[in-house]
Amino acid sequence: MDRQYHWLLFSLLIFFIAGCDIDGGAGTDNFTAQELTEQGWTLFISKNYKSAANKFVEAFGKDPGYTEAYTGAGWAYARSLNLDKAVDSFSAGIALNTNLADAHAGLAFVYNAQKSYQNSIQSAQQALTINANWNFAHDQTLDYQDLHLLMAESYFALLDFNNSLAQVKLLNPAFDVDVTTYEGRSALAAEIERLRGIV
């Protein structure tokens, strides 16, 4: 009888411990999609991109209509160089809300990395149409100037030197070359490279 009593107490203790919330009420089930997304951005800012992506995925798993989570996942995947997943995440968010400047901007960078230059240009243009002074709140080193430079690079890669020059002139109005010449194109390429180091 005494042994059964101890076994019962032990079983109840195990049951109680297993039922307790070890993380003090901070389990995923207790967070909203917005809170999970905020946690994801905190991880993103600290460059913990894989964990950030997981938080964003949890967030849109909890609320499939929460577009900020798709944008966050896209950026986290992009920084992890998981480019296909980045495209999927950005595109899913944009399908729900076409006015997500951060998602369009993220797509522009990813498409450029994939050498899908026309898509990169279109995404950058869309981001700038939504917000001509775009800046990425979660990485202050990225703003509208980077999108213009990205378009300059993409146009150059497509051999559209006039449009490439037009984008460069938005960043450096004093720069002008004749892009119909080899020398002019070489100078344009050098200016794009120079701007990459300062924009």
The pLDDT tens digits along the chain (199 residues) read 444 444 333 343 333 333 333 333 445 568 999 999 999 999 999 999 999 999 999 999 999 999 999 999 999 999 999 999 999 999 999 999 999 999 999 999 999 999 999 999 999 999 999 999 999 999 999 999 999 999 999 999 999 999 999 999 999 999 999 999 999 999 999 999 999 999 8
Give me the pLDDT at residue 199, please.
Answer: 87
| pLDDT value of residue 24 | 38
User: CATH 1.25.40.10 spans which residues of the chain?
Assistant: 32-97
DSSP per-residue string spanning the chain: -HHHHHHHHHHHHHHHHHHS-TTSS-SGGGS-HHHHHHHHHHHHHTT-HHHHHHHHHHHHHH-TT-HHHHHHHHHHHHHTT-HHHHHHHHHHHHHH-TT-HHHHHHHHHHHHHTT-HHHHHHHHHHHHHH-TT-B-TT-TT-BHHHHHHHHHHHHHHTT-HHHHHHHHHHH-TT----TTSHHHHHHHHHHHHHHHTT-
pLDDT of residue 28: 56
pLDDT for res 19:
39
Roughly how many angstroms between the first and final C-alpha of the chain, as a whole number? 79
Q: Give CATH superfamily name and number for 32-97.
A: Tetratricopeptide repeat domain (1.25.40.10)
Q: How much is the pLDDT for 27?
A: 54
pLDDT (0 to 100) of residue 63: 96
What local confidence, expressed as pLDDT, does residue 13 receive?
A: 35
pTM: 0.84
